[in-house]
């Protein structure tokens, strides 16, 4: 039943009035909680967090209007629907009830069919509201978790830049430019999120490269180059167990593959190389050439673009080189 396990707090100083309501509602699956006055009602409402409150108006000590006002000031129970039970039928009493925060009125003595129908309607609406709030809270929590993931990724990439000082700032630059270029190929929404993560993590595999090789100021030996070329595989092995990062692995794993098949680590060629990695490769070459290195000064943009165009069809995909050329403003 829709009303199964919903809790109703019945507040009435008259035992007979409470008994009437219990006799009407107990067969409908509601959990019924009884209070004899406003003070007890507030205490019980705070403790059990009912789904609906049936509140008598004419009570000694603290009437229903004041009880309603106090409930509305209690954060934990302020949103609970309140139905006034009243023999009053004058307009001012109804206005006072609405002003106090009532949601509806039931005339005493209550018609059992009307009461059941009103409660069923409110129970359904209240359940939908709660489900909506739970969904919003779940979405908010999910987004907070994703934000935390992304902050972690940014921290990892920054740590890599700090370790390899000659490429400091490289990761942020190539990430932004890769996203801009990817959008030109119609990539959007969730796929862009994966590309961003992959670009930020593209050199994570270098954590597996010894400092003696990664930071070596001289030319690497053949054996050292063989070790260096393993960093995309190290990135894959390191990140694949993290399930949410699997869709982002194309760039860390494949950004050193070449269009003509001469790249590493797997020697992929053409469209066997994931599109995101092909896009990133162009940007990566551009940033490497136009940034200072300890062993050379940055190339000017015109010279760097000419080199990229020369690599079209060899290292780089011609279609992406062409699009990149239209985006880069070279004097």
List every span in the chain annotated with CATH 3.40.50.2300: 7-136
DSSP reduced 3-state for 36? coil
Say how far apart CA 244 and CA 49 lie, in whole Å.
38
Q: Judge whether 254 and 274 are in contact, CB under 8 Å.
A: yes
Parts of the chain belonging to CATH 1.10.3210.10: 164-327
pLDDT per position in the chain (331 positions), as tens?
A: 444 578 999 999 999 989 999 999 988 888 999 999 999 999 999 999 999 999 998 888 899 999 999 999 998 999 899 998 887 666 777 777 788 888 888 888 888 888 888 888 887 777 767 777 778 888 888 788 778 888 888 887 777 777 665 556 788 899 999 999 999 999 998 999 999 999 999 989 988 989 888 888 788 899 999 999 999 999 999 999 988 899 999 999 999 999 999 999 999 999 999 999 999 999 999 998 998 766 678 899 999 999 999 999 999 999 999 999 999 876 5
- Other C-beta atoms closer than 10 Å to the C-beta of 295 total 9
How far is CA 329 from its chain centroid?
Answer: 36
Q: What is the pTM of this model?
A: 0.61
- pLDDT score at 214: 84
CATH placement of domain 7-136: 3.40.50.2300
DSSP-derived letter for residue 207 is G
Instruction: Determine the Cα–Cα distance for residues 115 and 37; give it in Å rounded to an integer.
Output: 21
pLDDT digits (tens, 9 = 90+) for 98-155: 888 888 888 888 888 888 888 888 877 777 677 777 788 888 887 887 788 888 888 8
Please state, in angstroms and as integers, the Cα–Cα distance from residue 248 to each residue in 159, 240, 271, 315, following that order.
Answer: 19, 9, 18, 22
Q: Which fold has domain 164-327?
A: Hypothetical protein af1432 (1.10.3210)
What are the CA-CA distances from residue 278 to residues 228, 257, 282, 306 (Å)? Answer: 20, 8, 7, 18
Ordered alpha helix ranges (H), the chain = 15-25, 38-48, 64-73, 91-100, 112-163, 170-184, 190-200, 211-214, 222-228, 231-239, 250-254, 275-289, 301-310, 318-327
pLDDT digits (tens, 9 = 90+) for 52-61: 999 998 888 8
Tell me the two tokens of residue 148. 């935390």
Residue pair 300/258 in contact (Cβ under 8 Å)? The answer is no
Angle at 180 between CA 179 and CA 184, to 5 degrees: 110
């Amino acid at each position: 039943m829709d009303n199964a396990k919903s809790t109703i707090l019945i507040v009435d100083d008259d035992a007979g009035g409470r008994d009437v309501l219990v006799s009407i509602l107990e067969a409908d699956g509601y959990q019924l909680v009884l209070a004899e006055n406003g003070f007890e009602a507030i205490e019980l409402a705070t403790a059990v967090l009912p789904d609906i409150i049936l509140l008598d108006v004419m009570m000694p000590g603290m009437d229903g209007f004041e009880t309603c006002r106090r409930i509305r000031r209690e954060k934990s129970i302020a949103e609970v629907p309140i139905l006034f039970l009243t023999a009053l039928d004058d307009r001012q009493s109804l206005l006072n009830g609405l002003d106090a925060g009532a949601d509806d009125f039931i005339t005493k003595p209550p018609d059992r069919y009307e009461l059941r129908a009103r409660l069923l309607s409110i129970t359904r609406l209240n359940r939908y509201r709660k489900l909506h709030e739970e969904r919003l809270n779940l979405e908010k929590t999910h987004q907070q978790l994703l934000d935390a993931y992304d902050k972690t990724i940014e921290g990892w990439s920054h740590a890599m830049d700090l370790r390899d000082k000659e490429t400091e700032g490289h990761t942020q630059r190539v990430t932004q430019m890769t996203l801009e270029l990817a959008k030109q190929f119609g990539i959007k929404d969730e796929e862009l999120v994966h590309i961003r993560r992959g670009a930020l993590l593209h050199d994570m595999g270098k954590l597996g490269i010894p400092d003696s090789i990664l930071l070596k100021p001289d030319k690497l030996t053949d054996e050292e180059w063989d070790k260096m070329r393993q960093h995309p595989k190290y990135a894959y092995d390191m990140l694949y167990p993290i399930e949410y990062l699997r869709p982002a692995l194309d760039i860390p794993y494949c950004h050193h593959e070449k269009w003509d098949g001469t790249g590493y680590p797997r020697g992929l060629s053409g469209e066997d190389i994931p599109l995101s990695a092909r896009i990133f490769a162009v940007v990566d070459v551009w940033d490497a050439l136009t940034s200072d290195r300890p062993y050379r000064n940055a190339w000017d943009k015109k010279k760097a673009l000419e080199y990229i165009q020369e690599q079209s069809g060899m290292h780089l995909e011609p279609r992406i080189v062409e699009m990149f050329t239209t985006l880069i403003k070279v004097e």
